């Protein structure tokens, strides 16, 4: 796995509707890979669509997708004391952001997420879950006027997290969801571009997944695929206080192949095919043990005349938090499966 590139992708800041930094990076990498300009389209929403022309048309038109956006916070007001009120872009738990260092506005001004000191909390407040409305962002100013020189309502607050490898096989960063999927797509494209690819293939780096799967349906409507494979990160709840099916999936047990989640019932033949690829090639894999979450498959499945969908995800702890954790071995399993699906779904899949 290209760990240096994953570091770069995860460090980029691009929340829903503000994916331009990620998009520009991807466009630069497509150009460097030799993808012709006329093979790349940026649509009105900001999705990046890539069509690689091969020597033949495949039996099935397959779209490989990942989303570019990450969860973040948005400034909603500048207060008299210079602090910032904010709300979420995507699903974020308030308790996960208290005390976190952040980057604010177009100039990435440093800040810290704060809340009322614990010794000022009432007994009931100490036991109640944290609420986003009780938090504020401190950017080191003392007045509203000072803060307005730096930031305006509508500006984005990003988590300031440095990617790192730690332990025996673990990797921590922000935005693994879904920059890991973007990395897979880039590697698949590089494997085809300029190499006389045998079959055509389509790819979509999509926007606004975190706020309702908004870009994926638009992308699928334009490509009109028979099959779509969504590369994602999914919640691993394998923590000390979770047991049985509540663990959903686990770090270190391989790629996650979903048969159902909170938005989608996946195509059974595609699921079986992906599992068979793993079994035949000794790729570790697992499935989700709880119907939870969702991804762009939920929008793609309903596009046009309908699309058969498959999701392959890396299990990820602390999803939608300032820092998430994956196992590099799981990431490598996803990459190996992605390469096999690229070959088999366009060639000999008969499900």
What is d(CA 255, CA 329) in angstroms, rounded to the nearest whole number? 9
CB neighbourhood size of 196 (10 A): 7
CATH code where residue 80 lies: 2.40.30.40
Q: Is residue 350 part of a domain?
A: no
pLDDT at 131: 84
pLDDT at 269: 95
Structure tokens of 4? 């240096």
By the 10 Å C-beta count (0-12 exposed, 13-18 middle, 19+ buried), 120 is classed as exposed
Q: Three-class SS of residue 102?
A: strand
pLDDT at 177: 96
What is d(CA 83, CA 148) in angstroms, rounded to the nearest whole number? 10
pLDDT at 130: 74
DSSP 241: T
125 and 25 co-located in one domain: no
pLDDT at 311: 97
43 and 54 co-located in one domain: yes
From residue 43, alpha-carbon distances to 11, 38, 132, 181, 324 in Å are 25, 13, 34, 20, 30
Catalytic residue list contains 209: yes
264 and 314 co-located in one domain: yes
pLDDT at 7: 98
pLDDT at 118: 56
- What φ, ψ does residue 70 adopt, rounded to 5°? -130, 160
259 and 294 co-located in one domain: yes
Cβ–Cβ < 8 Å for 22, 177: no
Q: Is residue 150 part of a domain?
A: yes
337 and 238 co-located in one domain: yes
pTM of whole model > 0.85?
A: yes
Q: Is residue 291 part of a domain?
A: yes
Cα–Cα nearest to 306, from 293, 315, 297: 297
Cβ–Cβ < 8 Å for 229, 345: yes
Structure tokens of 144? 């509203």
CATH code where residue 274 lies: 3.40.630.10
Which domain-ending residue is among 108, 128, 159? 159
pLDDT per residue as tens, the chain (351 positions): 899 999 999 999 999 999 999 999 999 999 999 999 999 999 999 999 999 988 788 888 999 999 999 999 999 999 999 999 999 999 999 999 999 999 999 999 999 999 855 555 555 555 567 788 889 999 999 999 999 999 999 999 999 999 999 998 999 999 999 999 999 999 999 988 766 677 889 999 999 999 999 999 999 999 999 999 999 999 999 888 888 888 989 999 999 999 999 999 999 999 999 999 999 999 999 999 998 889 999 999 999 999 999 999 999 999 999 999 999 999 999 999 999 999 888 766 676
Number of domains, the chain:
2
pLDDT at 121: 56
Q: Is residue 249 part of a domain?
A: yes
pLDDT at 126: 58
By the 10 Å C-beta count (0-12 exposed, 13-18 middle, 19+ buried), 212 is classed as middle
Question: Residues near 179 by Cβ (< 8 Å), separated by ≥ 6?
Answer: 6, 9, 10, 12, 22, 68, 70, 173
Gyration radius of the chain's alpha carbons: 21
Structure tokens of 228? 């779509």
pLDDT at 173: 98
Catalytic residue among 19, 209, 210, 250: 209
187 and 305 co-located in one domain: yes
H or E, element range at 181: helix 176-192
Cα–Cα nearest to 206, from 6, 51, 73, 16: 16
**CA dihedral sign, ordered 77, 79, 82, 88:** negative
38 and 78 co-located in one domain: no
DSSP 133: G
């Amino acid at each position: 796995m290209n760990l240096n590139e994953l570091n770069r992708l995860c460090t980029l800041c691009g929340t829903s509707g503000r994916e331009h930094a990620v998009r520009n990076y991807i466009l630069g990498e497509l150009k460097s890979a030799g993808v012709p300009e006329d093979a790349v389209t940026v649509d009105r929403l900001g999705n990046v669509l890539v069509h690689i022309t091969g020597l033949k048309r495949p039996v099935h038109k397959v779209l490989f997708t990942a989303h570019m956006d990450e969860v973040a916070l948005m400034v909603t007001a500048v207060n008299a004391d210079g602090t910032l009120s904010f709300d979420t872009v995507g699903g974020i738990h308030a308790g996960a952001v208290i005390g976190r260092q952040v980057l604010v506005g177009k100039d990435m001004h440093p800040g810290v997420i704060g809340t009322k000191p614990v010794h000022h909390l009432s007994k009931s407040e100490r036991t109640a879950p944290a609420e986003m409305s009780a938090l504020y962002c401190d950017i080191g100013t003392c007045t509203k006027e000072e803060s307005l020189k730096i930031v305006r309502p509508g500006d984005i607050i990003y988590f300031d997290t440095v990617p790192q490898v730690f332990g025996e096989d673990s990797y921590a960063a922000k935005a693994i969801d879904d920059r890991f999927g973007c990395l897979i797509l880039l590697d698949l494209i590089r494997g085809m571009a300029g190499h006389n690819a045998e079959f055509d293939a389509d790819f979509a780096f999509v926007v606004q997944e975190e706020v309702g799967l908004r870009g994926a349906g638009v992308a699928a409507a334009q490509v009109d695929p028979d099959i779509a494979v969504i590369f994602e990160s999914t919640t691993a709840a394998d923590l000390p206080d979770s047991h049985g099916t509540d663990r959903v999936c686990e770090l270190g047990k391989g790629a996650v192949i979903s048969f159902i989640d909170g938005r989608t019932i996946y195509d059974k033949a595609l699921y079986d095919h992906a599992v068979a690829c793993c079994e035949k090639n000794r790729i570790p894999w697992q499935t989700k043990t709880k119907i939870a979450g969702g991804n762009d498959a939920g929008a793609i499945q309903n596009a046009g005349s309908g699309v058969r969908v498959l999701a392959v995800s890396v299990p990820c702890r602390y999803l939608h938090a300032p820092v998430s954790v994956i196992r590099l071995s799981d990431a490598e399993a996803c990459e190996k499966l992605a390469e096999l699906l690229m070959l088999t779904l366009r060639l000999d899949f008969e499900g």
